[in-house]
Amino acid sequence: MTSPTGVVFPPGPRTLRIASRRSQLAMVQTHWVRDELRGAHPDLSISIEAMATQGDKILDVALAKIGDKGLFTKELEAQMLVDRADIAVHSLKDLPTNLPEGLMLGCITEREDPADALVVHAKHKDKTLATLPEAAVVGTSSLRRLAQLRHHYPHLEFKDVRGNVITRLEKLDSGDYDCLILAAAGLGRLGLADRIHELIDPAISLHAVGQGALGIECREGDASVLELIQVLEHRPTALRCRAERAFLRELEGGCQVPIGVNTRFSAPEAGGDLVLTGMVASLDGQRLIRDQVSGPQEDPEALGITLARRLREQGAGPILEEIFATVRPEA
């Protein structure tokens, strides 16, 4: 049996099993992946196994204190390793750059807007991030956002916020916070783009590695699954994210470290150079190292490594070591 895309299935019914977090946003993303695959492979039967990860279960502790490697992915990966799932759908920003033996990043989907977004309480509807009053309480669970905003807006107060997007918005609307910083992509996927008050300029806040893209993880050597999911691969996004992930990997940072990036093409994507901007900041925001590299898009990993080494030469290493000791002293 052959699908319209040319994938040859073995005789009999073909089923693809997807592992996913069960949060509302994760399920929206996983259903999108399912529907895209069904459209490309009408004869494919697809099932979804939804589960809670460690990061979903522990909501009364700051993410950075729990540990960052596989916080939202280990349980899904375990399902593939014991052959209870064929692929796992992740927000790429949550997927560690070093994967368990036997697993691989099979494809990267087209990126939504990776920008950070300001969402405000109704009483601040006439304000921007730059005009919020002194001591306004900003909710964020991201050390990356925290460090950059402290650097640019030291007069604001910052408070950790956990829970899914809806829960966070409820806390904002009840007055626990004056504003929140959330991912524009997540708000858009949940149909909440109208809550975006301001998209934060990359000059103020570089986004997380992989933000806005989905990463589809699968088993190494599973050629039939790899072939099925290739319809989801978006090459321009993949090039950008490969550079970002190489940058993060070279710095040995996790998703809960103040490391930010921005990638773009210098000209139309068919031939322009890849431009990668990156930053490392101290938790108090007082030290922020930022630089940029560009080069041929054919070797995005080399660009990421080059930029990471350049930031280390400028003092990123001691900043990261200090953060690791402060955030995870038990490590």
Let me know whether 96 and 180 are in one domain.
no
Cβ contacts of 175 within 8 Å, gap of 6 or more: 121
| Domain count within the chain | 3
Q: Are residue 83 and residue 225 in the same domain, yes or no?
A: yes
239 and 277 both lie in a single domain: yes
We report the CATH number of the domain holding residue 287 as 3.30.160.40
Q: Judge if 157 and 32 occupy the same domain.
A: no
The answer on 228 and 238 residing in a single domain is: no
More confident call, 54 vs 198: 198
Confidence of residue 22 (pLDDT cuts 50, 70, 90): confident
pLDDT at 12: 38
Inside any domain, residue 207: no
Interval 222-234: pLDDT, tens: 999 999 999 999 9
In this structure, the answer to whether residues 57 and 172 fall within a common structural domain is: no
Residues 2 and 105 in one domain: yes
Look at residue 255 and tell me whether its pLDDT is greater than 70: no
User: What is the per-residue pLDDT for 270?
Assistant: 63
pLDDT at 269 (0 to 100)? 66
* Three-class SS state of 128: coil
Q: Sorting pLDDT into bands at 50, 70 and 90, what band is 14?
A: confident
Question: What percent of the chain has pLDDT above 90?
Answer: 79
Task: Provide the pairing of β-strand 214-219 with 103-108.
Answer: antiparallel
The whole-number pLDDT of residue 53 equals: 65
pLDDT, position 254: 62
- State the pLDDT at residue 252: 81
> What's the pTM value of the predicted model, to 2 decimals?
0.89
Cβ distance 168 to 139 under 8 Å? yes
- CATH code of the domain containing 178: 3.40.190.10
On whether both 172 and 318 belong to a single domain, the answer is: no
Position 120, amino acid: V
How far apart are the C-alpha atoms of 34 and 21, rounded to whole Å? 14
Strand partners, 97: none
Indicate if 90 and 227 belong to the same structural domain: yes
94 is catalytic: yes
Please tell me which residue, 97 or 10, carries the higher pLDDT value: 97
pLDDT in tens, 106-129: 999 999 999 999 999 999 999 999
Print the domain residue range for 164: 116-199
Give tens-digit pLDDT for 126-165.
999 999 999 999 999 899 999 999 999 999 999 999 888 9
Instruction: Determine which one of 68, 94, 178, 222 is catalytic.
Output: 94
* DSSP letter string, 204-247: T-PBPTTTT-EEEEEETT-HHHHHHHGGG--HHHHHHHHHHHHH
Same domain, 221 and 238: no
133 vs 162: CA distance, rounded Å = 24
**Average pLDDT for residues 230-250, to the nearest whole number?**
97
pLDDT at 331: 30
Structure confidence at residue 293 (pLDDT)? 98
Task: Kindly report the average pLDDT of the chain as a whole number.
Answer: 89
